[in-house]
Structure 1
């Protein structure tokens, strides 16, 4: 089975990966460059030249997209918001933030960094493009390469400055409104509406382009898909902000599970699988000895042990010690718990005091709490 994301490398302490959907857009970009863009610019290019040029240019285009995303992440890390991962997918890049911007200034600086990086790249490639043309450089594919990258980075920076959330321009506008009004929810609502309008506008423009060009316009189809994606993302982002606002005054103690099913370290893995994992359906259990927590045991931990050893291997031998990343304070806010889960790719946190387990908070508990608040309108 294909993995959802492929790890590539680390840069500035940030892990960069590819989502499977990236390969689809990579192929489509090569196709568009090789059959539409470069043949339109230079009809004398052969098919092989266009394909090679399209492939190389597509790689540098996505490197430019990554640079755009990295600029956001570097500024975030410098301002105290940890970014551990960036995954490229068919619509761009998504960063895994430990928490959202805490101030309007933080958000402004993070948001504006991306378009600025794109404009710097546009100028960089543009200098080479103009220089080669002025010196009458004869190898046209190189001129086409620099010209396209200058143009596409200019377009990328400008598009992202459109004032609709969650585009960079929408985040910049939201940060300004947030600073002026001190009302993040209202600022998000305004910029989310603008984002939805922009998304619908892009989709409408794409449909018209397809109609005019009689279904031969890849660009038109892309505008439709990207516009609808943007509209949905803008709407979803506002809903998430509503949820964040509703949880702002809720503490872990209000939502956590106090009656947590725990495991004795002396039972075998075979017993654990048959009488605990298979019956309760949980993926992880806290392990207690003499009333004190000594670790956790998960389905992944069990799968690391060969099945023929399950009858003789105890939970004590397979458990994992508790990490700080798994813990949250009883008096912490639920939003802090969510940020910590998200930053560490967990769906639960443990509440422990003096090695004694007080409870557990799970993402499902939080979602259930939000739904009940919405149902009862409280």
Structure 2
């Protein structure tokens, strides 16, 4: 996936995500998964691993080494099964990385920003920006499943070839056959037309191309994702009641699909409601700010204690915005360090903040929001801070829309 769980998802936070089983997504995704560590880079994109991945590797290694291999190639030493099981599980994780790498590489070729790739319990997730065209969205979404299907076919072919050789090649043959079927399942499963799975992203792109309206396409696809997720959870529950442990995984995956699809549906509704509204129509101005060169103690005494906000934009010596500092972050600094540390040292730098120009579409500006700064968009014109858009401002726009009064003429 591309987005969350394998598939893809885009959202107000940072565009698309891919998740379960492998894929790419675009929807309200948000930040990277908590509890993940950075392993390196793939195609210039950070590669992360969630703490749940080792558990997944152990589960696959156990299933392959204790159940599959002894049945298909009996009479081998236990250590052979164990090593082959670990090797097969590692190869499957590598397949997931290649699945997500395909999403990331395709997105970058289409000039879509990619934040990172994360492996987790339900597969993989690629966080990226929103594609600008239906064609780009289609290519990003389909690239992951196609990669899995190609890998599956290659592994099956190699496994069949080694099986013919026999003897010492029998164990590697079984591992490759198992890997091939796993990749084929991964590719086909991700083509289910349910957001945030890759098939849901493909459906979104096709609907977008057909309707010429991205928001309507997103609403339709996310509604289908919710229905499919409920059906998956129900089917998993039935399997679980019949004694099939895999039913529990299907239940979790179905619930995940339902929740993410619901979030994307709300996000698509937000985009639709804010269509045609500019950032300067929603922003609050003037903005209460603080100097970034103050020590934390000075900032607390001169700015924070008088502020009515949970976060304060910072300005540098030249009066240009340099970031945002959250008040709770200041409270976490030890008292003995507050007199020496500058407030900018604990702030979120401007490069990691959501920034928009006054005449930018508000809906597009919301796609730049990140979890680090929350629902805050700094409005910058000619290098100077002229306003800020917060969750309250967006809510006011939504209320105006629900009353049918539009949004023009709103003052901050």
Aligned equivalent of 2:221, options 170, 191, 201: 191
Matched, 1:64 2:116: no
Within a 5 Å distance, the mapping from 1:338-349 to structure 2 comes to 338-342=366-370, 346-347=373-374, 348-349=376-377
Distance 1:275 1:52, change over 3 A: farther
Q: Aligned-pair RMSD on alpha carbons? A: 3.4
Out of 136, 152, 157, the residue aligned to residue 106 of structure 1 is 136
Structure 1 residue 41 displacement after superposition: 3.6
What is the aligned partner in structure 2 of residue 350 from structure 1? 378
Q: 1:298 aligns with which of 321, 325, 328?
A: 325
Q: Which residue of 2 aligns with 1:20?
A: 51
The structure with more helix, counted as a fraction of residues:
1
Q: Choose 1 or 2 for highest CA Rg.
A: 1
* Preserved contact between residue 227 and residue 258 of structure 2 (Cα < 8 Å): yes
Q: Secondary structure at the match of 1:331?
A: coil
1:249-288 superposed matches below 5 A: 249-264=276-291, 267-277=294-304, 280=307, 282-287=310-315
**For the Cα contact (< 8 Å) 1:165–1:188, is it kept in 2?**
no
* Distance in 1 of aligned mates of 2:161 and 2:265: 46
Residue 223 (1) aligns with residue 223 (2): no
Give the one of 147, 152, 171 matched to 1:141. Answer: 171
Count, aligned residues: 370
- Residue 259 of structure 1: SS of its match in structure 2? coil
| Structure 1 position 114, deviation (Å) | 1.0
Summarize deviations over 1:318-371 as a string: whole Å, max 9, x none. Answer: 8898559653211111222223334x9654332233443211224x24653465
Contact kept in structure 2, 1:81 and 1:101, CA below 8 Å: yes
Residues in 2 aligned to 1:355 and 1:324: alpha-carbon distance in whole angstroms: 16
2:69 corresponding residue in structure 1: 38
Aligned to 1:359: 387
- Post-superposition offset of 1:206: 2.2
How much has 1:262 moved relative to structure 2? 1.5
State the match for 2:28 in structure 1. none
Instruction: Identify if the C-alpha distance between structure 1 residues 329 and 282 changes in structure 2 by more than 3 Å, giving closer, same or farther.
Output: same
Partners of 1:310 and 1:325 lie apart in 2 by: 24
Structure 2 residue 114 is the aligned partner of structure 1 residue 89: no
Q: Shift of residue 86 of structure 1?
A: 1.1
From 335, 358, 368, the equivalent of 2:363 is 335
Could you list the per-position Cα deviations for residues 116-169 of structure 1 after superposition, in whole angstroms to 9, with x for gaps in the alignment? Answer: 101111122122101101222434321121011110111111111122232222
Give the CA deviation at 1:275.
Answer: 5.0
1:192, 1:234 within 8 Å by CA — same for their partners in 2?
yes
Q: Is the 8 A contact 1:256 1:365 kept in 2?
A: no
Output the CA distance in 1 between the equivalents of 2:141 and 2:107. Answer: 9
Q: Residue 146 of structure 2: which of 109, 116, 135 is its match?
A: 116
Tell me the equivalent position of 2:22. Answer: none
**2:340, 2:177 → 1: CA distance?**
67
Distance in structure 2 (CA, Å) of the matches to 1:45 and 1:133: 16
Partner SS state of residue 161, structure 1: coil
Q: Determine if contact 1:287/1:297 at 8 Å carries over to the other structure.
A: no
Q: Distance in 1 between matches of 2:200 and 2:59?
A: 28
Alignment pair present for 1:4 and 2:35: yes
1:368 is the counterpart of 2:395: yes
Q: Call closer, same or farther: CA 1:353–1:64 in 2, change over 3 Å.
A: same
Q: Could you tell me which of 201, 209, 230 is aligned with 1:179?
A: 209
Once the two structures are overlaid, the 10-residue window that deviates more, 254-263 or 311-320, is: 311-320
Distance 1:316 1:11, change over 3 A: closer
Query: Shift of residue 228 of structure 1?
Result: 2.1
Do the aligned partners of residues 45 and 358 (structure 1) sit closer, same or farther apart at CA in structure 2, a change above 3 Å counting?
A: same
Preserved CA contact (<8 Å) 1:262 1:288 = no
> 1: CA distance between counterparts of 2:63 and 2:183?
17
- Structure 1 residues 218, 41: CA separation in 2 closer, same or farther (over 3 Å shift)? farther
Unaligned ranges ≥5, structure 1: none
Task: Choose which of 132, 149, 153 in structure 1 pairs with 2:162.
Answer: 132
The TM-score with structure 2 as length reference comes to 0.77
Matched, 1:77 2:108: yes
